[in-house]
Amino acid sequence: MNRTDPPVPTPPPGPPAPQHRRLARSSAIPRQERRFAGIPVSAGVAIGPVFGTSEPEPVIARHKIHAADIAAESARLDVAIAQSRKQLGKLRGRLTLLPEDSQAEIAPLIDVYTRMLGSSRLMRGVRQRIEGTLVSAETAVIEEADAIAAAIMAQAAPDSSAEDRASLRRRGDEVHEIARRLVRNLTRAPFRSFAGLPEGAVLISEELRPADAALLNPSRVAGVATEEGGADGHTAVMLRALGLPAVLGVAGLTQAMRPGDMAIVDGIAGTVTLHPSAESLASARRAVTAFARERQRFARLRRLPAETEDKEPVELQANLELPIELPLIVQSGAVGIGLLRSEFLFMNRETPPDEATQTESYRAIVEAMHGDPVTIRALDWGGEKEIEALANAGYVPDTIDANPALGLRGIRLLLREPELFETQLAAILRAAVAGPVRILLPMVTNLSEVRAAREIYERVIRRLRRRGERIPEKPPPLGIMIETPGAALSADALALEADFFAIGTNDLTAYTLAVDRGDADVATLYDPTHPAVLRLIQFATEAALRMRMPVSVCGEMAANPLLTPLLLGIGLRSFSMSASSVPRVKQVVRGVEIDACVRLARSVMDQSDAARIRDLLTTFASERG
């Protein structure tokens, strides 16, 4: 295996090993080197045989419904059909990025799938089964697809040729393929099919959800490449957290690869090379060595203080998305956890974790930090963060909103479901006896949300005291994420209600520029150096500083060393980022003076053009080597 990272412990065992579906393959594609460009999201270079993620044969409890539920079940089916159409439409749109011969091969297949979602035999049969036999939509889809595929195979005459049989099998496979997509959209089940990946494999798939990424074992997988996804989406965040070299948004990849093909994933250059030539392989091996050397150099920075040349102390903390990262955080030289994304606790399970389970998880993390502070963010459900357990428990709808990023997200869900919120607050309070903790509220947009959350927080404190639970005498501070333009522009008022701010530049960029952060099609528009985003960060920072209130940045901007001098110049002194980014940012911090950063920030904030801003930042960085 050609991984560039230190070994990390094995995560808890996943679901049973799956069979790997052979991805659509084309015998017409020559086995010569092909290079694909995408979005580099996690540094490092991986070399290995490729394997596709595939959902295992869906294990759906074939459940019955009541006659009164037929309409609701049909509506679920309609949502899944619409979503499947949208996915196929996107795939088709992106084919234009491929060479013509590949387009000619793939486009008809996508057309077949799309037609099957219309008034096809499959869809008619599915609807009849829902109504006539009173079964759930997913049960109907599976049963009807099986029946059609069997009918197709039955057309084979006893003396039909192998070629004819293969052609019938292909038609059956197409029906199953579209059925799988529908079931995946109906159940929102993660792929859960990584346990059987061969060691050292490069994982290639159309799409990888954050919950799927959470199941990857970084000591077995060499690298990841997908067709969908953007630089700061949650899947990218997870892959960085796992230290897996990764490139997302690579059009045409799944159709071009065959399981077992050799590939290079270059998470620095943002390329994926299939069937690399001897030269490309040699150059990739050199890159692997260079990256490992850089890691060693950075390791030496670990014990040096994070302070500027003129001795201004700067707080560098780590973001934690999975407990598997704890050893990396300790090695990185980060002082504490500035953002614990608690979503991992709720992912890939049937029901939400209870108070005791959550308390144990938080306590283990707080203890592992040996007295360094830990900021635990309350559950941030919504947007791309789909969590089955919440739908199963009835907390969130199990159909997908038309516009989930603008819907029931973060604090909105927590206030609507106080039981969910109270359970988590109680667990955090109980874990807080093990070390310094802060509590962070996600997706705040207005004052009343903070007031309501504080009321609930105080109620939980009183209840735990009555119950005789041990919690800190001085309860942990209650802070808020500044990650919507509304919150940033209300920062002066919010500063009166909150105990601290954490600026979430990922969502702030997405909402300010109206760009889905995980969407490869609009990735070029997602730009944290857009002057509008920078002005919001400056406005919120200054509001906090006027109140002498702690303020930090915990979005991906904090991890970008090019932006560190600018953020220091704006007045920020606390940054939280993926553990692997800490040394690089520390190196920059140690090489700058605050005065120079302030001058840089002034000239940047005068600009109205993001390209000019990037020039200024690059020049500043190159002048300091």
Just list the catalytic residues: 234, 554
Residue closer to ligand PEP by CB (options 388, 556) is 556
Among candidate residues 488, 486, 496, the one with its CA nearest the CA of residue 547: 496
Number of residues located near Mg ion, criterion CB under 5 A: 3
Q: Which segment (245-253, 363-371, 499-507, 534-542) binds ligand PEP by CB under 6 A?
A: 499-507
Which residue, 225 or 444, has its beta carbon nearer to Mg ion? 444
The answer for residues whose C-beta is within 8 angstroms of residue 306's C-beta and 6 or more apart is 313, 314, 315, 316, 333, 335, 586, 589, 590
Residues 6+ apart with CB under 8 A from 549: 495, 498, 499, 500, 501
Q: How many CA atoms are closer than 13 Å to the CA of 583, on its beta-carbon side?
A: 16
Tell whether residue 382 is a contact of Mg ion (CB under 5 A): no
Farthest CA pair distance, the chain: 85
Binds ligand PEP (CB under 6 A): choice among 4, 235, 505, 560: 505
Residue closest to 315 by CA, chosen among 575, 572, 592, 563: 575
Is residue 507 part of the contact set for Mg ion (CB under 5 A)?
yes
Q: Which one among 3, 341, 438, 573 touches ligand PEP, defined by CB under 6 A? A: 341
Q: Taking CB under 6 A as the criterion, which residues in 201-240 touch ligand PEP?
A: 237
CB 533 within 8 A of CB 505: yes
Six token digits for residue 238: 């997870």
- The stretch near ligand PEP (CB under 6 A) out of 52-60, 138-146, 270-278, 502-510 is 502-510
What x-and-dash track marks residues 571-610 binding ligand PEP by CB under 6 A? ----------------------------------------
* Cβ–Cβ < 8 Å for 213, 385: no
Closest residue to bound Mg ion by CB: 507
Contacted by 554, from Mg ion, ligand PEP, none: CB < 5 to 8 Å by type = ligand PEP
For residue 283, the minimal CB distance to ligand PEP (Å) is 34
* Binder of residue 341, out of ligand PEP, Mg ion, none (CB less than 5 to 8 A by kind): ligand PEP
Binds ligand PEP by CB under 6 A, chosen from 554, 568, 577, 604: 554
Q: Could you tell me if 254 and 23 are in contact, meaning their C-beta atoms sit under 8 angstroms apart?
A: yes
Q: How far is the C-alpha of 412 from the C-alpha of 516, rounded, in Å?
A: 20
Q: Which stretch binds ligand PEP (CB under 6 A): 215-223, 286-294, 422-430, 501-509?
A: 501-509
Q: Which of 138, 206, 388, 483 binds ligand PEP (CB under 6 A)?
A: 483
Which residues between 356 and 385 bind ligand PEP (CB under 6 A)? 380
- Scanning residues 394 to 433, which ones bind Mg ion (CB under 5 A)? none
Give the other-Cβ count within 10 Å of 618's Cβ: 11
Which residue type, as a one-letter code, is found at position 610? A
Strands 315-320 and 374-377: unpaired
Give the interface segment with ligand PEP, choosing from 100-108, 113-121, 414-422, 498-506 (CB under 6 A).
498-506
Question: In whole angstroms, what is the distance from residue 294 CA to residue 273 CA?
Answer: 23
CA–CA dist 105, 256 (Å, integer): 10
The C-alpha atoms of residue 356 and residue 474 are separated, in whole angstroms, by 22
Residues that bind ligand PEP in the complex, under the rule CB under 6 A: 237, 339, 341, 380, 483, 504-507, 554-555
Residues that bind Mg ion in the complex, under the rule CB under 5 A: 483, 504, 507
